[in-house]
Amino acid sequence: MCVVGSDYFATRGSLPAVAVHVAESVRELRRRGAFPRHACVNIDVGPAEETLDVLVEGLSANTESDLDEAMTALRALSELAAGANVVEIDGTGPPLFLPRILAVDDNGTPFAGAVGVSIGRIRPMVGARRRARRRHR
């Protein structure tokens, strides 16, 4: 049994497709005013397509309201990435991918981050997750 995000089926377990989906979703959130306009989001697929590396620039932790804005952005990115993931609930295998999201200041120093794996319904997809992982290696 697996936790399967609602966007997994749209991306078909392809990490490059997840990266595109997250970027498009950020644009939509920004258009609706639900994501900081001045935040620059860089999304990269890590080695062996096992990590989704997201770097957020243009935000800061200088004041409490700045940090709140950064945390709002990190939560949104984490939810978007987690919604496309698949994780076996018994822990017998790794997640489809590991989202690593960092907010960095103007000097490139990380000041906030999120590392998460999945949010979604429980479904019997163990075989499907493994097939998707092999297909994209």
Could you tell me the pLDDT band of residue 12, with boundaries at 50, 70 and 90?
confident
Q: Mean pLDDT over residues 33-60, rounded? A: 95
Cβ-contact 15, 136 below 8 angstroms? yes
Asked whether the predicted pLDDT for residue 18 surpasses 90, the reply is yes
Q: Is the pLDDT higher at 131 or at 28?
A: 28
Report how far residue 125's alpha carbon sits from residue 5's, in angstroms, rounded to the nearest whole number: 12
Domain extents for the chain? 2-135
Report how far residue 100's alpha carbon sits from residue 59's, in angstroms, rounded to the nearest whole number: 17
| Interval 58-88: pLDDT, tens | 999 999 999 999 999 999 999 999 999 988 8
Could you tell me the pLDDT band of residue 131, with boundaries at 50, 70 and 90?
very low
Q: State the pLDDT at residue 7.
A: 86
Asked whether the predicted pLDDT for residue 21 surpasses 50, the reply is yes
Could you tell me the pLDDT band of residue 127, with boundaries at 50, 70 and 90?
low
Cβ-contact 97, 7 below 8 angstroms? no
Q: For residue 47, what is the DSSP state? A: G
Report how far residue 36's alpha carbon sits from residue 5's, in angstroms, rounded to the nearest whole number: 24
Q: Of the ranges 14-18, 83-87, 121-125, which one carries the lowest mean pLDDT score?
A: 121-125
* Amino acid found at 132: A
Q: What percent of the chain has pLDDT over 90?
A: 62
Where is 2: in which H helix or E strand? strand 2-4
Report how far residue 136's alpha carbon sits from residue 51's, in angstroms, rounded to the nearest whole number: 13
Residue whose tokens read 């994501």: 35
Contacts of 13 (CB under 8 A, 6+ apart): 86, 96, 128, 129, 132, 133, 135, 136
Report how far residue 67's alpha carbon sits from residue 65's, in angstroms, rounded to the nearest whole number: 5
Residue whose tokens read 């989704």: 52
Q: Mean pLDDT over residues 100-124, rounded? A: 87
